[in-house]
A and B are shown apart, each in its own frame.
Chain A
């Protein structure tokens, strides 16, 4: 007796041979490589548009028809002959994203828990404790500002691949902002006279932080989603983000008896490597677009100049922080030179120098 509604008594692949019975790959897009990756399969064309399959055009428009359909190419000043060509090099989809984020959270929590159990925060240099309260406390707001900018940006991209890469970037930034917040609150429980409010006060009032806040708020205020993505990963991160995360907190901590802060921050550096790779790939595609390359390079150079100016000012304003610890294993000038070398490599790679 046939157990299923199938004419051949089974619903399994190979139970019958007929036209189409071996068509077991998504066939509506061109993979970047020889075969589609898992990331491509679960990402490409989930956000279609009238040029790709929406034969009825957009079916709802903003502002009584004056604001266009659900997605519009005009959400950025950049132009592309194929917005769907981009593939994120980090190949992130939900499973890999949760695995990575979860591992980072587990690592961070283990480090904090074990270090607190060993009484490590109490052996921090006193000056360093104040630096963490003030400056790491202020920096968490910068990360949050970047996260919310990217959250906004992921609404506008003209393809699923662009928006998902922006979304995961936002998720990484939000995680880091929260990780720092909770880290400081937890070590604060072990330390006398710890003021958890000091970081935000510095962020809003300390002259050291105001140019950084201005650079971040400028990114938050951009109405061009791609400019936000570009400003964050191509400009702000190498000139300010890596400068303070890697060039200060990670390198100066150990010399001031702090072995907890570097691992808490370290995940962010790995996050950035991935987000940088994604951004470079996208910007490279647009800068070398056969039809719009010239227009885009000119545009990107404008963005670079605008945000580099703000980022340079922010970096210079942060310089006094390097003088504040008792132990100063690294100089501002050295790490600044590294950051300039870094952005120079990125910009050269993109042909924007």
Chain B
């Protein structure tokens, strides 16, 4: 028998289960003054949810500090290893978009914890929500730090330097706003539980924070995986919080209709937004064309279809919630058969002058990979990217307004704010007597039926409403393109050169200036639609559904 230090010094401690039990007893029912009324919900939650993670702050803070130490150590090591000498600018440029968006949804998630924490009775899960609140604060500021690090060390800092301003203004980041504001606005259960934790975190953080870092590493960027895999390691706790709250909501049969509504809305809109953005980043921001690696579609099937749909969504049927299997199938069809991601990438490229990062043309090497992974891709998109490359030189007519290409600028979806790129699926409908455009029938259902003060005969006064100048194009309707870019502040320090460029040539002689884009007038497709007669509108939509053909580029 050996004597160890542990045996000499060990003492009886409190078990994790006992510790969490005592901590969950910190709360009480106020009797002098009731807690402030919180944000509204149409759900009824009477069952106290349980905290499945059973973690206390005593172990949480040291664990998180250790994770941070690894992250910051890795960033230092990346600089010492001269990471940026070998990083792919095509990739880092897209990080200007991604990292402009993501800190806002993250901190919104922190705010939403305040909304959800008071909704459920009992204190058990409040500890879990508290840790998630601090986690989200971590994510937001660690991502801002990463972005600052790129800005300080990457060849072209323009775009990173205006990041949060750009987030509020850009024609592409508007999609991210819908994502982030969706976490904190509207019915509390709809926003903070179903949209955020049950769908965004449980399903789509896998593509956001796992699939994307893999692609970063393939492009010589070891910083993004370091930060985002650390972020993702917090998500399992958040998924537990969401599931526990969902289970509490399921106990009340009267919630089931709303759960069906919200699962439907949240899944479809997460698909529309996350797949548009992350699909494009992964497929078009990479230079790695290894045919053995998974495409975004293949990853989606693994993470969303197999993991989430089969193991998380489907079992909800046992509890009495109707799951719309067709929606999942339709999302899959959009990605694999309707070229959703490719059409979004095409849209981002067409609008390059009003963004704040560089988008490089796809090349022959890229074409071969796309055709291998998505048979038929070249026939539909090959000529477009040739046009894009050809029109990337200053002095050419900017691709956004170049009618030679055959591209037709799309309508914007009033629900997801993603353009209606799958042309055959566009739907129009009226809200408050005004025409609106939707990318899909489910988007129309979201705005008209789900975000309404009544759902299938049941009053839903707590539900949010889509508002504001949701169609980005309407903000600059009638503006000269150059004036709009100047107003957006997407101009470099000389007051002339655009932040965005349609290439990766780091030389003043190749860079576009305001003078190169002046003379084109931006138009709001929605305003134009609303000005049409009924006959003209029907004809316009019918033609829109037929799509367009890119002209051959020689």
Residue A191 interfacial (CB < 8 Å): no
Residue B360 interfacial (CB < 8 Å): yes
Residue B206 interfacial (CB < 8 Å): no
Least distance between B183 CB and chain A CB atoms (Å): 9
Q: What CA separation (Å) do A174 and B105 show in the bound complex?
A: 24
**B184 neighbours in A (Cβ, 8 Å):** 70, 155
Interface segment among A102-110, A248-256, A328-336: the answer is: A102-110
Q: Mark B111-154, 1 if CB is under 8 A from A, else 0.
A: 11111011000000011011001100111111011001001111
**Cβ-defined contact, B61 with A98, below 8 A:** yes
Assuming the contacts A170-B130, A196-B22, A220-B36, asked whether A43 and B144 have C-beta atoms less than 8 A apart, the reply is yes
Residue B163 interfacial (CB < 8 Å): yes
**Cβ-defined contact, B33 with A18, below 8 A:** no
**Cβ-defined contact, A141 with B61, below 8 A:** no
Residue A163 interfacial (CB < 8 Å): yes
**Cβ-defined contact, A94 with B141, below 8 A:** yes
Q: What CA separation (Å) do A346 and B26 show in the bound complex?
A: 30
**B35 neighbours in A (Cβ, 8 Å):** 152, 217, 220-221
Q: Mark A53-66, 1 if CB is under 8 A from B, else 0.
A: 11111111111110
B129, B156, B164, B167: which contacts A21 (Cβ < 8 A)? Answer: B156
What size tier do the contact residues of chain B reach? 35 or more
**Cβ-defined contact, B87 with A11, below 8 A:** yes
In the complex, which residue of chain A has the Cβ closest to the Cβ of B488?
Answer: A55
Residue B64 interfacial (CB < 8 Å): yes
Residue B351 interfacial (CB < 8 Å): no
Residue A296 interfacial (CB < 8 Å): no
**Cβ-defined contact, B117 with A151, below 8 A:** yes
Residue A189 interfacial (CB < 8 Å): yes
Q: What CA separation (Å) do A108 and B59 show in the bound complex?
A: 12
Residue A342 interfacial (CB < 8 Å): no
Q: Mark A1-33, 1 if CB is under 8 A from B, else 0.
A: 001111110111111101111111111110000
In the complex, which residue of chain B has the Cβ closest to the Cβ of A43?
Answer: B141
**Cβ-defined contact, B118 with A152, below 8 A:** yes
A15, A167, A168, A189: which contacts B14 (Cβ < 8 A)? Answer: A189
Q: Give the contacts of B274-304 with A (CB-CB under 8 A).
A: 287
Q: What CA separation (Å) do A204 and B113 show in the bound complex?
A: 27
Interface segment among A177-185, A233-241, A278-286: the answer is: A177-185
Q: What CA separation (Å) do A9 and B155 show in the bound complex?
A: 11
Least distance between B61 CB and chain A CB atoms (Å): 4
**Cβ-defined contact, B126 with A148, below 8 A:** yes
Q: What CA separation (Å) do A15 and B153 show in the bound complex?
A: 10
Q: What CA separation (Å) do A247 and B143 show in the bound complex?
A: 42
Q: Mark A203-214, 1 if CB is under 8 A from B, else 0.
A: 110000000011
Interface segment among A44-52, A123-131, A287-295: the answer is: A44-52
B57, B90, B110, B469: which contacts A56 (Cβ < 8 A)? Answer: B469
**Cβ-defined contact, B114 with A214, below 8 A:** no
**A97 neighbours in B (Cβ, 8 Å):** 134, 137-138
Q: What CA separation (Å) do A47 and B118 show in the bound complex?
A: 23
**Cβ-defined contact, B141 with A42, below 8 A:** yes
Least distance between B84 CB and chain A CB atoms (Å): 4
Residue A266 interfacial (CB < 8 Å): no
**Cβ-defined contact, B33 with A178, below 8 A:** no
In the complex, which residue of chain A has the Cβ closest to the Cβ of B185?
Answer: A60
Q: Mark B92-110, 1 if CB is under 8 A from A, else 0.
A: 1000000000011001101
The total of chain A residues at the interface (CB under 8 A) is: 106
**A15 neighbours in B (Cβ, 8 Å):** 85, 155, 506
**B467 neighbours in A (Cβ, 8 Å):** 57-61, 65, 69
**Cβ-defined contact, B87 with A4, below 8 A:** yes
**Cβ-defined contact, B417 with A46, below 8 A:** no
**B506 neighbours in A (Cβ, 8 Å):** 6-8, 15-16, 18, 21
**Cβ-defined contact, B137 with A222, below 8 A:** no
Assuming the contacts A3-B86, A23-B161, A98-B64, asked whether A220 and B141 have C-beta atoms less than 8 A apart, the reply is no
Q: What CA separation (Å) do A115 and B522 show in the bound complex?
A: 72
Residue A171 interfacial (CB < 8 Å): yes
**B61 neighbours in A (Cβ, 8 Å):** 98, 101-102, 104-105, 175
**Cβ-defined contact, B493 with A23, below 8 A:** yes
**Cβ-defined contact, A59 with B220, below 8 A:** no
Least distance between B531 CB and chain A CB atoms (Å): 21
Residue B19 interfacial (CB < 8 Å): yes
Residue A116 interfacial (CB < 8 Å): yes
Residue A261 interfacial (CB < 8 Å): no
Residue A319 interfacial (CB < 8 Å): no
**Cβ-defined contact, A46 with B104, below 8 A:** yes
**Cβ-defined contact, A181 with B492, below 8 A:** no
Residue A83 interfacial (CB < 8 Å): no
Assuming the contacts A64-B464, A94-B137, asked whether A55 and B40 have C-beta atoms less than 8 A apart, the reply is no
Least distance between B451 CB and chain A CB atoms (Å): 8
**A58 neighbours in B (Cβ, 8 Å):** 181, 185, 467-468
Assuming the contacts A60-B186, A141-B26, asked whether A13 and B155 have C-beta atoms less than 8 A apart, the reply is yes
**B142 neighbours in A (Cβ, 8 Å):** 94-95
Residue A223 interfacial (CB < 8 Å): yes
**Cβ-defined contact, B469 with A174, below 8 A:** no
**Cβ-defined contact, A24 with B161, below 8 A:** yes
**A182 neighbours in B (Cβ, 8 Å):** 14, 19, 22-23, 56, 58
Assuming the contacts A8-B155, A13-B152, A56-B469, asked whether A64 and B493 have C-beta atoms less than 8 A apart, the reply is no
In the complex, which residue of chain A has the Cβ closest to the Cβ of B64?
Answer: A98
**Cβ-defined contact, B25 with A200, below 8 A:** yes
**B113 neighbours in A (Cβ, 8 Å):** 151
Least distance between A286 CB and chain B CB atoms (Å): 21
B64, B107, B156, B465: which contacts A102 (Cβ < 8 A)? Answer: B64
Q: What CA separation (Å) do A30 and B31 show in the bound complex?
A: 46
Residue A117 interfacial (CB < 8 Å): yes
Assuming the contacts A23-B158, A154-B110, asked whether A60 and B117 have C-beta atoms less than 8 A apart, the reply is no
Least distance between B117 CB and chain A CB atoms (Å): 6
Least distance between A144 CB and chain B CB atoms (Å): 4
**B174 neighbours in A (Cβ, 8 Å):** 56, 59
In the complex, which residue of chain B has the Cβ closest to the Cβ of A152?
Answer: B114
Least distance between B456 CB and chain A CB atoms (Å): 16
In the complex, which residue of chain A has the Cβ closest to the Cβ of B12?
Answer: A189
**B65 neighbours in A (Cβ, 8 Å):** 98-99, 101-102
> Could you list some 12 contacts between A and B, CB below 8 A?
A12-B82, A42-B144, A60-B467, A63-B465, A69-B185, A102-B65, A140-B26, A144-B27, A148-B117, A152-B114, A221-B33, A221-B34
Partner-B contacts on A (CB < 8 A): 3-8, 10-16, 18-29, 38, 41-48, 52-65, 67, 69-70, 93-95, 97-99, 101-102, 104-106, 108-109, 113, 116-117, 140-141, 144, 147-148, 151-155, 160, 163-164, 167-168, 170-171, 174-175, 177-179, 181-182, 185-186, 189, 196, 200, 203-204, 213-214, 217-218, 220-223
Report the 10 A-B pairs with minimum CB-CB distance, sorted nearest first.
A53-B168, A20-B158, A221-B33, A155-B114, A57-B468, A102-B65, A42-B144, A28-B165, A20-B492, A12-B84
Given contacts A171-B134, A179-B58, 4 further A-B contacts (CB under 8 A): A12-B84, A26-B162, A152-B35, A218-B32
